[in-house]
Amino acid sequence: MHKYFILLLGVVSSVAWADNTIRAGLWEVTTKSDLLALVPHIPTEHMQQITNLARQYGLEMPEIRNGAATSMICITQDMSEQEIPVDLFENQFGCDVKHASKVRNRYQVDLVCDNAQFKGNGTAEVVFTNPESFTGQAEFESVVQGNPVYTRAESRGRWIGPDCTLAQPLQ
């Protein structure tokens, strides 16, 4: 379950620079899902384990409130110029990108994850309404440490400004 939280947050936040017209700078990304709604019921020690695992992958746990996670993410100029950033998914989460595409303002990716703790398939789609905002959705069907997990997440992002002092760049 821990890796799934990290993957979900990573998928949703990392697709924020899917279109090469996306503005570089500070972005606020909010994701809602039924799975995130369970966070208040996770014991403190387990939540600390999830936070520590996220840090191992270079991610900071976002604020999670009312079934939604809100993150401040810095999109560098190099990131904003990438056509399809598939290496982030593969390098950060041990997942393979099977089909990645971008058509105008729509970015789609299919993921297959197969490792000791996490096996599953998922899709993510982001649509940019303009270079400063997007909406998206992700679905993932998986087995996490022997337990079947299905989740669907809705996201939205908005550009805050060119200064990234409130967030560190994704790596």
Q: Is residue 61 part of a domain?
A: yes
Q: Which domain holds residue 156?
A: 2-161
Any idea how long the chain is? 171
Domain count of the chain? 1
- Residue 169 placed within a domain: no
Q: Is 170 inside any structural domain?
A: no
d(CA 139, CA 46): 24
C-alpha–C-alpha distance, residues 123 and 121, integer Å: 7
The answer to whether residue 171 is domain-embedded is no
Structural element, H or E, at residue 102: strand 95-103
**13 within some domain:** yes
Q: What are phi and psi of 6, to 5 degrees?
A: -65, -45
Domain-embedded: residue 47 = yes
166 is a domain residue:
no
Per-residue pLDDT 10s for the chain (171 aa) are 444 445 555 555 444 444 446 888 898 989 898 888 888 888 888 888 878 877 776 667 777 888 888 888 888 887 777 765 554 445 445 677 788 888 888 888 888 888 766 788 988 888 889 989 999 898 989 887 778 888 898 999 999 999 887 664 444
